[in-house]
A and B are shown apart, each in its own frame.
Chain A
Amino acid sequence: MEARSGAGTAAAAAFVDFQDVWLAYNSALLAQGQFAVEAINLQVREGEFIAIVGPSGCGKSTFMKLTTGLRMPSRGRILIDGQPVTGPLKISGMAFQAPSLLPWRTTLDNVLLPLEIVEPYRSNFKRKRAAYEERARKLLDRVGLHGYADQFPWQLSGGMQQRVSICRALIHEPRMLLLDEPFGALDAFTREELWTILRELWLEQRFNVVLVTHDLRESVFLADTVYVMSRSPGRFVVRREIDLPQDRDLEVTYTSAFSDIVHELRSHIGAFRKPAAAAT
């Protein structure tokens, strides 16, 4: 985790590098030429926040599995930090739409769970437990959950549970955070509050973020670069850099620059829906 400050210089060597990546879920589908995602080319700088939007079932989640090494591509190459991906990438943390916390563990113990599994924390977890607890408490404070560490997840609201889930994804200081529609099940106000929290955490720690969402406003507000994916087979059809100032607050979502970008992206999604509708 040393070279983090090197981000921002011209992206000579991309941190995430997809080179013509295709994936079919099994060999039968591969033989038929049915791919879940195809011809993915993507270069992400270190510390960049990207969002992937698209209609449901377009392969956004498949993209996440490829990035974390949970799935190997059928064709093409994926390099993360210059290294080819060969298996699960421990430098990543994941959170999903469902917080999926363990109800028999307190909030604190839920956040600590990854440290019981991932090296190097795993081997010294018992010895350094106090230090790790301290770290987890700080992280919980950071997302506004001060005083909830010893409660059980089912005593928290949905928005709070999702914050815990994000803390769990960040506790081992991953270099890459993968979020699969993490705010999809929350009400509008809670969602916007969590946007700003996520944005602040990212500005502080500058990990890479891959956010999968179908909320265009969310993608524009949070990301540096938004990719629009087409319906299956999943392909990137548009890449849009978001040229809003780095220091954003929710006010920006009401500016015309912001809604112009959202509108533009929306038109791309509408564009490839029409032929599909006409075909039926």
Chain B
Amino acid sequence: MNKEQTERWAPLVMLVLIVAVWQAACSLFAIPEFIFPSPLEIARALGEFTGPIALAAWQTFWVTMVGFGLSIVVGVLLGFLVGSTRLAYAALFPLLVAFNAVPKAAVVPILVVWFGIGVGPGILTAFLISFFPIMVNMATGLATLEPELEDVLRVLGAKRRDVLLKVGLPRSLPYVFASLKVAITLAFVGTVLAEMTAGDSGIGYLMQSAGSQQRMALAFAGLVVIGAMAMAMYELFSYVEKHTTGWAHRGSQNT
């Protein structure tokens, strides 16, 4: 097996290894299911409750996607504004940083008061938690233009708009794609957070009720499903990134 193949299979081998150790530890020390379920018990729970889990997963998925869609739109627009005009940067950036520092768990109860129990808080929490990295990366891409290049174009009579469209936007695309990968995983965190504190459906709600009934295997099954969904979306964006902005990743592609 050559180096490249080893690298490709490494994550799978690692996963199998961890699961094996986990299973062995649970069986060896006879840890009761309601404290720490073994992989086999989790798998059994997944099989037993396939229907409800799938339903909850779908609910969490689309709520996350709506929130994430919002955060792409708002993040890109706000990032464009903040990155392209100095005044907006000076005025908005400190406020946005302060806002981002607020723990989102503290915001959910407020959202519940405004929007009630249901999908509203989920969508908004997913959005609030994930738009910030997108905005920052978009703004950074625009704000770090080489001054020489700007001079080359400005002397030709280029307007600010020309520079932004011809250079700024394409240049910030790799930054934005990199941030999308991070943001999608954050969005899942936001949705599940809202579902756990104030939901009536979704994986978060399912885990919350399973936990309160001491059905730990089912709660862990929820964790596994969330992890799998977030990872799949991460890989999807990573694929899109490589195929749209390959010029920014040539080092890793050419080898």
Q: Is B91 an interface residue (CB 8 A)?
A: no
| Contact indicator A94/B170 (Cβ below 8 Å) | no
| Contact indicator A104/B247 (Cβ below 8 Å) | yes
Measured in the bound complex, the distance between the Cα atoms of B150 and A98 in whole Å is 13
| Contact indicator B248/A94 (Cβ below 8 Å) | no
Measured in the bound complex, the distance between the Cα atoms of B146 and A185 in whole Å is 17
B8-16, B114-122, B155-163 - interface stretch: B155-163
A101 and chain B: residue at smallest CB distance: B149
B157 and chain A: residue at smallest CB distance: A90
Return the CB mask of B156-176 against A: 1 if under 8 Å, else 0: 111000100011001100000
A94 contact set on B, CB distance < 8 A: 148, 151-152, 155
Distance from A127 Cβ to chain B, minimum over Cβ atoms (Å): 19
A102 and chain B: residue at smallest CB distance: B167
Distance from A22 Cβ to chain B, minimum over Cβ atoms (Å): 21
Q: Is B250 an interface residue (CB 8 A)?
A: yes
Distance from B247 Cβ to chain A, minimum over Cβ atoms (Å): 5
- Say which residue of A88, A104, A114 sits within 8 Å of B245 (CB atoms): A104
Q: Is A162 an interface residue (CB 8 A)?
A: no
Interface size bracket, B side: 20 to 34
| Contact indicator A100/B157 (Cβ below 8 Å) | no
Number of A interface residues at 8 Å Cβ cutoff, please give it.
29
Q: Is B178 an interface residue (CB 8 A)?
A: no
A-B contacts, CB under 8 A, total: 62
| Contact indicator B146/A88 (Cβ below 8 Å) | no
- Say which residue of A93, A96, A154, A172 sits within 8 Å of B250 (CB atoms): A154
| Contact indicator A88/B155 (Cβ below 8 Å) | yes
**Contact A70/B156 with A104-B245, A154-B250 known, Cβ cut-off 8 Å:** no
Q: Is A168 an interface residue (CB 8 A)?
A: yes
B149 contact set on A, CB distance < 8 A: 100
Measured in the bound complex, the distance between the Cα atoms of B155 and A114 in whole Å is 10
Measured in the bound complex, the distance between the Cα atoms of B159 and A118 in whole Å is 10
Measured in the bound complex, the distance between the Cα atoms of B152 and A65 in whole Å is 11
Give A contacts to B, CB under 8 Å. Answer: 65, 68-70, 88-90, 92-96, 98, 100, 102-104, 113-114, 116-119, 152, 154, 168-169, 172, 180
Q: Can you report 19 A-B residue pairs in the complex whose CB atoms are below 8 A from each other?
A: A68-B151, A68-B155, A69-B155, A90-B156, A93-B152, A95-B152, A96-B152, A100-B148, A102-B167, A102-B170, A102-B171, A104-B247, A113-B153, A116-B166, A117-B153, A117-B166, A119-B157, A152-B247, A172-B156
Give B contacts to A, CB under 8 Å. Answer: 146, 148-149, 151-158, 162, 166-167, 170-171, 245, 247-248, 250
